[in-house]
A = this chain, B = another copy of it.
């Protein structure tokens, strides 16, 4: 048994599965007109927003009260939920803004941070996404229980991998 055999590497199985998944989402997100990473940002915003919140288009929302915080998420908060840095998020958000799904606005309370809010169009897109989990589950052809196990295993794996800080040299090394 070759320990370096390609099809026994967890890394390669993950890498392949992740690319296959993204490819499937490319298809599922075609109608919505966004990429998979953009969709993940939308998921975070949809989850955060008090749902019935299609009141503002954010183009003419004065809001001079310095204490009032946006209903959206700051770039930092988005980054911590998705484990993405501003180097990835900034250009991605520029594109989502260009598509009219979100707006960006510097915080009045702390002008270092920038809040990302859904536009009414961005909030409305949520209903277009409702069918996606079902459509995907169909394609995976795995039942709910097995799916749930896999989800847990992946989350545990991610936690364990992130836990060990970078810069290796794990003692032994012979």
User: Which residues does chain B contribute within 8 Å of A109, judged by CB atoms?
Assistant: none
A141 within 8 A of B: yes
Q: When chains A and B are docked, how far (Å) is the Cα of A7 from the Cα of B83?
A: 13
Q: Is the interface of A mostly helix, strand, loop or mixed?
A: helix
Report how many copies the assembly holds.
2
* A157 with B17, Cβ < 8 A, contacts A3-B130, A136-B11 known: yes
Total contacting residues, chain A, CB less than 8 A: 72
User: A13 interface residue, CB < 8 Å from B?
Assistant: yes
Answer whether A36 and B11 are a contact pair too, CB < 8 Å, given A142-B160, A154-B16, A170-B138.
Answer: yes
Write 16 A-B pairs (CB below 8 A) sorted by A numbering.
Answer: A3-B134, A7-B155, A9-B43, A10-B140, A10-B147, A12-B40, A13-B150, A13-B155, A17-B161, A18-B18, A20-B161, A24-B164, A27-B166, A131-B173, A140-B160, A150-B153
